[in-house]
A and B are shown apart, each in its own frame.
Chain A
Amino acid sequence: MRDVNDRGTDWFRGVYARHFPDVVRYGLRRLDGMAAAEELAQEVFLVAWRRRWEVPARTLPWLYGVARRLLANHWRAQRAVPPSGELTETVGLDRHDGIVRLMDVRTALGRLSDDDQEILRLVGWEQLSLREAALVVGCGSATAKVRLHRARRRLAELLRERPSPATSVDGQLGGVR
């Protein structure tokens, strides 16, 4: 493990190069598009530079934790936005079986609570261990284990239900964050 004395710009460039793609992917899975994900990643690394004395050896889960808190701030800031009053048009959608299948998983994910979704994403997409995922979410390992167990079971139940064929233009499709 490198000496903490060593944490200058060279050290930081190394951390950034190693972990920037993974932090962007974290953002892509929870935000709308690459631009938003890259912006989030830049904010995460700015925090990492400012707190570079605190960055632990297991860096990536710590970076995910920073990203998660920044996202929470982002959602909180959205609450300050007054209602737009716009009406959304409902549009008919094509349903190819392959796309329906992917959307089934994402729709099913969306039916879980936010914390359950996050545990499943961290373990399933970010490939974290349960203990690391617990650190990111800020709960104990025992709580994370219950959430994962419950989320996994619930997701499996939802995927066994076949969506009824849409007879109206209101589809069930929707990307899920």
Chain B
Amino acid sequence: MSERLRELLAAADPARGVQVGPGDVEAVLDRARDDVTSYATAVPPRRRAWWVVPVAALAVVATAVVVVRGVGGPPASPQPYLPPGSTSESAPCLAEIADQLAATPYDGRTGRYEYLRMTWAGGGSVEMPVADAGMATIWYSEETTRWLAEDGSGRLRQVRGTPTYPDEKSREYFEQHRELTSETTRTTELAPGDLDVTALPAADPTAMAQALYRPRENGPAQALASVADLNRERVLDSAHRAAVLRFLAATDGVVCQGEDTDSVGRTGVAVSAGRGQGPRPSPAGHDREYLLFDPRTGELLASGAKTTTAGNVEVGTVYLERGRTDELG
């Protein structure tokens, strides 16, 4: 960041020069005492990392991987993948998809660019200049289309959708101050090196676990969030999609949620996992990370959050279209 911009930002910092008191730590501990779950100081037993495998089991895993790579078309396993030491899958619905994975039109195709089109929820809030008027909030969906080459070059197009507002005063404020909402379409040409191209982990569940389930202390929701992130960066071929599905299927805490339909009418298989689950879960409701997969191809259709296992889904990203192409659009 340039020095000038840093200075300007620093000068605009709402917390600049503000003295913060010491707070009240005892109030926090008092509230925690009312928790239903016991927070006794017993430390949870240290678990051996599940990817540290006994040698005999490793041989079994290696064989399974060789079988998968030997198949020319979409990979199929004779039996579901299980990490060594586990007795059952956490999310068998995903293993089922991996077992019967169908090819997409772009599997096996070559092209200079990976093409990805998706929408996500954006928005912002502004403090209204009238005293005590509070915040005006605007929501919009943004569609991003991206062509990305191996060297980080390509093109990015962002189209902002029709705004919505939580209340009348927000609507009025933004309609009176149209200069506050930026242009609705922006195209950015990317030169080589402009984007770091995220490396794809190897197409096997162990590699996916090691690359994506980080940090472990965030619990299984981290695995889902990382898969969503990977899908925002890269286009996965069938081998990688199968590996992701098998990795998630074997991840403790990932739960099958049946079928769901996304905002563009596609029906998929949903999974979720609780956020931030340690060994002493809070009785208060936590959000759940949510993913929706195409039951035929295993492509990720949508990602977002749920309020509870049975609750509403707040979709963050909808993955509309993927491909490989030599042409910028």
Contact = CB atoms under 8 A, between A and B. Distances in A.
Contact of A107 (B13, B142, B180, B314): B180
B20 interface: yes
Contact of A142 (B18, B233, B287): B233
A20 B12 contact: no
B20 A21 contact: yes
Nearest to B158: A113
Contacts of A117: 124
Contacts of B9: 105, 120, 124-125
Contacts of A53: 43-44, 217, 278-280
Contacts of B327: none
B188 interface: yes
B18 A25 contact: yes
Interface residues of B, number: 78
Interface string A94-122: 00000001100111011111110100100
Interface in A41-58: 41-42, 45-47, 49-56
B14 A29 contact: yes
A51 B129 contact: no
A138 B181 CA distance: 25
Contacts of A124: 1, 5-6, 9-10, 13
A71 B32 CA distance: 20
Contacts of B182: 111-112, 154
A172 B127 contact: no
Contacts of B225: 138
Contacts of B233: 140, 142-143
A8 to B, nearest CB: 5
Interface string A128-139: 000000000011
Interface in B105-156: 122-130, 133-135, 137, 142
Contact of A170 (B15, B127, B176, B181): B176
Interface in A5-31: 5, 7-9, 12-13, 16-17, 20-21, 24-25, 28-29
Nearest to A175: B127
Nearest to A159: B8
Contacts of A167: none
A159 B229 CA distance: 32
B34 to A, nearest CB: 11
Nearest to A105: B12
Among the interface residues A107, A146, A159, which one has the most CB atoms of the partner chain B within 10 A?
A146
Interface in B2-61: 2, 5-6, 8-15, 18, 20-25, 27-29, 31-32, 35, 39, 41, 43-44
Contact of A174 (B24, B128, B172): B128
Given A53-B279, A113-B124, A177-B127, A29 B137 contact: no
A50 B39 contact: yes
A28 to B, nearest CB: 4
- The list of the 9 closest CB pairs from A to B, nearest first, reads A175-B127, A105-B12, A25-B15, A124-B9, A21-B20, A142-B196, A54-B217, A16-B25, A83-B167
Interface of B: 1-2, 5-6, 8-15, 18, 20-25, 27-29, 31-32, 35, 39, 41, 43-44, 122-130, 133-135, 137, 142, 166-169, 172-173, 176-177, 179-182, 188, 194-198, 215, 217-219, 225, 229-230, 232-233, 275-276, 278-280, 282, 287, 314
20 contacts: A8-B41, A20-B20, A20-B23, A21-B20, A24-B23, A49-B28, A49-B39, A50-B32, A54-B276, A86-B168, A88-B173, A90-B130, A93-B129, A105-B9, A124-B5, A124-B9, A142-B233, A152-B2, A174-B127, A176-B126
